[in-house]
């Protein structure tokens, strides 16, 4: 299965790397590597993530990497990474959900 990143998810990861690099460029790179490696595992195991609790859609899943939620959608022939956000953020209260449901 192919793993692709949405523009929003790429922006999320870039923003997080920039934020972490204020303190340590080394740890920012390590964080980015861990997130990317975790999503690569989805090629072989696309359903390994848990369903997103704030959604009833079974195609929406997430994996947790160092306290960050990496949200993705299962689609025919691919996994689409939708967002990377801190686990403490209230997704249920967001007007614009990362998966596009309002």
Look up the pTM and report it: 0.89
Phi and psi, residue 22, nearest 5°: -60, -35
Angstrom distance (rounded) from CA 63 to CA 30: 17
List, for residues 23-33, the tens digit of each pLDDT value: 999 999 999 99
Q: pLDDT tens across 43-82, in order?
A: 999 999 999 998 889 999 999 999 999 999 999 999 999 9
**Banded model confidence at residue 102, pLDDT cuts 50, 70, 90:** very low
Measured between alpha carbons, how far is 53 from 64 in angstroms, rounded to an integer? 13
DSSP designation for 41: G
* CA terminus-to-terminus distance, the chain: 28
List, in sequence order, every beta strand (DSSP E) within 43-99.
Answer: 50-51, 60-65, 68-75, 78-86
| The CATH number fitting domain 2-86, selected from 3.30.2310.20, 3.30.70.20, 3.30.70.270, 3.30.460.80 | 3.30.2310.20
Distances (CA, A) of 58 to 12, 37, 73: 23, 23, 9
What's the CA gap between 10 and 13, in Å, rounded?
Answer: 5
């Amino acid at each position: 299965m192919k793993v692709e990143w949405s523009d929003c998810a790429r922006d999320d990861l870039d923003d997080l790397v920039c934020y972490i690099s204020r303190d340590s460029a080394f740890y920012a790179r390590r964080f980015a590597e861990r997130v990317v490696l975790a999503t690569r595992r989805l090629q072989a195991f696309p359903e390994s993530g848990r369903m997103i609790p704030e959604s009833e859609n079974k195609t929406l899943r997430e994996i947790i990497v160092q306290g960050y939620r990496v949200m993705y959608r299962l689609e025919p022939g691919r996994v689409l990474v939708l967002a990377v956000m801190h686990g403490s953020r209230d997704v249920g209260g967001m007007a614009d959900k990362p998966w596009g449901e309002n």
